[in-house]
Chains A and B, each alone.
Chain A
Amino acid sequence: MFPYLLVGPAVLYLLAITLYPGLFAIYQSLFVVKFVNWSWAGLGNYMRIIQDREFWAALGNTAIIGGLSLGLQTTIAMTVAFFCYRDSFVRGWRIVFLMPMLFMPSAVAFIWKLAFNDGRVISDLLMSVGLVSNNVDWLSSIWLARLTLIVADVWQWTPFLFIIFVGALQGQDEEIEEAARLDGASWSSIFWNISLPMMRPIIVVAVTLRGIDITTMFTNVYIMTQGTPGGATETMSYFIYRQGFRMFNFGYASAASVLMLFITIVVAQTIVKRAFKSGKS
């Protein structure tokens, strides 16, 4: 009994804040909600949502923006971490690499909104090196708008992966590295043949955690693009927010939430469970 008493309060707290909302969302998704009027719709919201091009676009945007951003930040973090993990000179100022992560995300969104759009700094810098000939309107094209979100996310969250990778690399056995080096192994072969396989479980955990956070991307979209142009930067989280709190289609938003919850549970049960099991050993 005693261990259940210890773990009980935490579990009850989490159930209250996840199970209740989950059930509520399922219930509400069966109604068309117009302010205080709830009218029964059965599976109507779901039928509409699977035909809603905006819903599929949001899913696709989340995958595209998230996938590119995750790939980029993993590569940069790994490179920087591998180049500095045993360097005592860099260790002295390594905190610099962490700084973007310590900034409030809403403020980071404003930094990039100003740099790209309102202050035209990025355009000006690109013009001065001759890469573009006139001012770029970053919100005018699908890919440029997505790029601004990717830049903001990569800038802020590469440090998260970096610090985890550095931790993992520092934990690796120095003698194996030393032996390989004495055998004449090059730096890149040490990376590919020793460090990378050793770090695999940790990379999986770190990338999974980051991947989950990226798929919930909201703040940057809300502040920087609001989904423009033409919904090309609308993520799933922003779709739910817009349906619920801008258009007041609460039943519809709940249906989208339930679908997203379903995806989350599948991912959690397969990828995350495995990632944390292998991460432990």
Chain B
Amino acid sequence: MASVRKSGGENLLVRYIILVSWALVCVVPILWFLTIGFRPRTEIIVPEPIYWPTWSLDAWRLLVSDWPIALYLRNSILAVAGSVVIDLVLAIPAAFALARYEFKGREDIGFYILSTRMMAPAIVAVPIFFLFKNIGLLDSVWALMLIYAAINLSLVTWIIRSYMLDIPKELEDAARTDGASDLTILREIMIPACLPGIITAAVIAAIFAINEFLFTLLIASTSKAYTMSVALANFTGGSDGVIYNAIALVSFIAFAPILILVILIQKHLSRGLTMGAVKG
């Protein structure tokens, strides 16, 4: 509060005007889109926008009757959860090695893992499509799971590595003199001590996986493997155009859990998003 008082009344007013305006820019489109979810179709795509619509539950009925929304939800949850599990199983040992061992090529291996994050999905889209086609995994949730895991593996590894670097070495040394093996140390000391990092990594990976669009679009060529993210883009009904009210509802079904997860890890968010580069 000290800084608030010192920056003076005039500044304070300007400051709050800017902050509140930007907050409105952030939140008003979301609230407006929420109202779209409860409007009848006829009041959405219109020559003149209707600001005070009649409310309706059309979109709910539509979702349940015309689209297998439960299937999309199941696909999303299965693919995302599976990919996060794969990531953690692969990343925790890798992060442990990168954070705690001296070995030849450590820097290069670490950077190689990081650099896979820089690859544009479109670059590998064509080959990945053929790869999954050849092994018969097109249109399958398993393929999505493998892809999401690959997309996020670099960031999960780097986040966990960053948290492991912060754990004081003395803890391990003490255990080691008591005769604990390396794997015991990983299991009994490192993992519990960097649990916030592991959770942060898992949450961020889950968000990116839920959002993934391009690969899902290519691999899920029929609605059998659609996730929420891609199912949205197919909510169009021929001459009726885009079915916005259904899109709005589905997007809020995904938004709610993400919001809750992010509130839980809010303190770790800036560190997680920079893969450990910022110790926020």
Contact = CB atoms under 8 A, between A and B. Distances in A.
Interface of A: 2-7, 9-11, 13-14, 17-18, 20-22, 24-25, 28, 76, 79-80, 83-84, 86-90, 93, 95-100, 102-107, 110-111, 113-115, 118-121, 124, 155, 159-160, 163-164, 166-168, 170-171, 177-178, 181, 187, 201-202, 205-206, 209, 212, 215-216, 218-219, 222-223, 236-238, 240-241, 244-245, 250, 253-254, 257, 260-261, 264-265, 267-268, 272-273, 276, 279-280
B125 interface: yes
B94 interface: yes
The majority secondary structure among interface residues of chain B is helix
A13 B91 CA distance: 11
Category for how many chain B residues contact A: 35 or more
A11 B113 contact: yes
Contacts of B45: 114, 118-119
A17 B127 CA distance: 10
Interface in B119-175: 119-131, 146-147, 149-150, 153-154, 157
A11 B112 contact: yes
Contact of B101 (A3, A9, A25, A93): A3
Contacts of A14: 112-113, 116, 150, 153-154
A80 B103 contact: no
Interface stretch (B58-66, B67-75, B194-202, B209-217): B209-217
Interface string B237-280: 00001101001101100110011001100100111011101111
A89 to B, nearest CB: 8
A215 B106 CA distance: 29
Contacts of A237: 120-122, 214
B130 A24 contact: yes
Contacts of A107: 33, 232, 247-248, 250-251, 254-255
A100 B23 CA distance: 10
Which of A6, A11, A114, A170 is the most central at the interface, judged by chain B CB atoms within 10 Å of its CB?
A: A6
A115 B29 CA distance: 9
B51 to A, nearest CB: 9
Binding site secondary structure of chain A = helix
A2 B262 contact: no
B124 A97 contact: no
B178 interface: no
A202 B278 contact: yes
B103 A4 contact: yes
21 contacts: A3-B97, A7-B98, A13-B150, A17-B124, A93-B23, A99-B30, A105-B211, A106-B213, A107-B33, A115-B32, A118-B244, A119-B44, A119-B244, A121-B49, A206-B274, A209-B274, A215-B120, A238-B122, A240-B122, A250-B126, A260-B122
Given A99-B27, A280-B277, 17 more contacts: A4-B103, A11-B94, A20-B127, A21-B131, A28-B127, A28-B130, A103-B251, A104-B255, A106-B229, A107-B250, A120-B47, A181-B6, A187-B7, A237-B121, A238-B122, A245-B218, A264-B120
A9 B89 CA distance: 9
A279 to B, nearest CB: 4
Nearest to A165: B270
Of A7, A205, A218, A219, chain B has the most CB atoms within 10 Å of the CB of A7
A163 B273 contact: yes
